[in-house]
Amino acid sequence: MKKIIITAVILFILLIVCLLSFYVVEENQYACVLRFEKIINTKNDAGLYFKVPFTDSVTIYPKMVMLYDINPSDVITKDKKTMIVDSYVLWRITDPVTFKKTIGSTKEAEGRLDALTYNFIKTKMGTLNQDEIINMEDPDERNTIYGEILKNVKEGANSYGIEVVDVKIKRFDLPEQNEEAVFTRMISERNKIAQAYIADGHYNASIITNEVDKKYNTIISDARVKAEKTIAEGEAEYMRFIAEAYNTPEKLEFYQFIRSLDALKLSLSGDNKTIILDKDSPLAKILLYN
């Protein structure tokens, strides 16, 4: 019975020792093996590894790309405009030994990257006018600017055993105290545009209306001319008919006779008319009968 208990205890201790002798490195990890605080080995690949228990300790660092969101801060552009810049950094440890020696922890690394990135962003923005960033040109141009910042940050972080994968500005905005002025300007711009629309509309409308009036009057006036012509044609026809009808001297004479009688009738219709006859005229002879 005692034997069994002793065996169990020994087995248990062996198990503990065994467990302390092995460690697992995950795919997204580096492991630094330290013997009495001195780095004796690093493991870059995932797997199960042996270490000497009690004397060796293992520090794990991330191998994956880390995201660090830098707090928003003010920068001043070349043309002395204050802008709020909010950026992020993607970074990863490439040399865990150097990283451990120079920085030691990811928390500390973030602090360094924060300072480094902010500095280079500030410097870069100080060389650019506001409208070199905010403009109507190719959106990819900003990525080129970020690329230049990245290059500098990358170089700066190299000595920490860190590779900076990317630096990008995710917000580039006006400070809040400038917003009111922008709103006022936006409103005035809109009012101007609205006025232009109204003026344009009325201008176009009056062009159409004037054109319509011109066409209308032209059509009517053309029609009048044509109508007068037609009426004149009628008159000409009338004349032609009449002229054709009295084409012999006899007819003409008879016509003149009829017309003169008609004229007489017309001129002597109504009251208070006076006729003076010569005494030799046929009518006078009849009247006087002598």
Interface with another protein in residues 222-261 (CB under 8 A): 222-224, 226-231, 233-235, 237-242, 244-246, 250-251, 254-255, 257-258, 261
The one-letter amino acid code at 93 reads I
| Least separation in angstroms between CB 36 and another protein | 25
# binding residues, another protein (CB under 8 A): 115
CA atoms of 174 and 134, how far apart (whole Å) = 11
Residue 1 engages another protein in binding (rule: CB under 8 A)? no
Q: Of 9-17, 95-103, 107-115, 207-215, which part binds another protein (CB under 8 A)?
A: 207-215
Burial class (CB in 10 A: 0-12, 13-18, 19+), 83: buried
The one-letter amino acid code at 254 reads F
Binding-site member from 69, 74, 79, 155 for another protein (CB under 8 A): 69
Is residue 277 within 8 A of residue 283, CB to CB? The reply is: yes
Binding-site member from 53, 123, 198, 256 for another protein (CB under 8 A): 198
CA dihedral (281, 282, 286, 287) positive or negative: negative
Q: Closest CB to another protein among 37 and 180?
A: 180
- Count CB-CB contacts under 10 A for residue 213: 10
Binding-site member from 46, 58, 97, 128 for another protein (CB under 8 A): 46
By CB under 8 A, what part of segment 92-131 binds another protein?
A: none
Residues contacting 105, CB < 8 A, separation 6+: none
Binding-site member from 6, 10, 65, 76 for another protein (CB under 8 A): 65
By CB under 8 A, what part of segment 148-167 binds another protein?
A: 165-166
Q: Of 10-18, 111-119, 156-164, 184-192, which part binds another protein (CB under 8 A)?
A: 184-192
| Least separation in angstroms between CB 47 and another protein | 4
Q: Of 32-40, 118-126, 148-156, 200-208, which part binds another protein (CB under 8 A)?
A: 200-208
DSSP 242-256: HHHHT-SHHHHHHHH
Binding-site member from 6, 47, 79, 127 for another protein (CB under 8 A): 47
CA atoms of 232 and 36, how far apart (whole Å) = 130
CA dihedral (105, 110, 112, 116) positive or negative: positive
Going by the DSSP 8-state scheme, the letter that residue 160 receives in this structure is G
By CB under 8 A, what part of segment 259-288 binds another protein?
A: 261, 264-265, 268-269, 271-279, 283-284, 287-288
Burial class (CB in 10 A: 0-12, 13-18, 19+), 153: buried
| Structural tokens at position 264 | 């007489």
Q: Closest CB to another protein among 36 and 247?
A: 247
Q: Of 5-13, 93-101, 148-156, 179-187, which part binds another protein (CB under 8 A)?
A: 179-187
The one-letter amino acid code at 86 reads D
Residue 37 engages another protein in binding (rule: CB under 8 A)? no
Strand partners, 92: 163
| Least separation in angstroms between CB 34 and another protein | 19
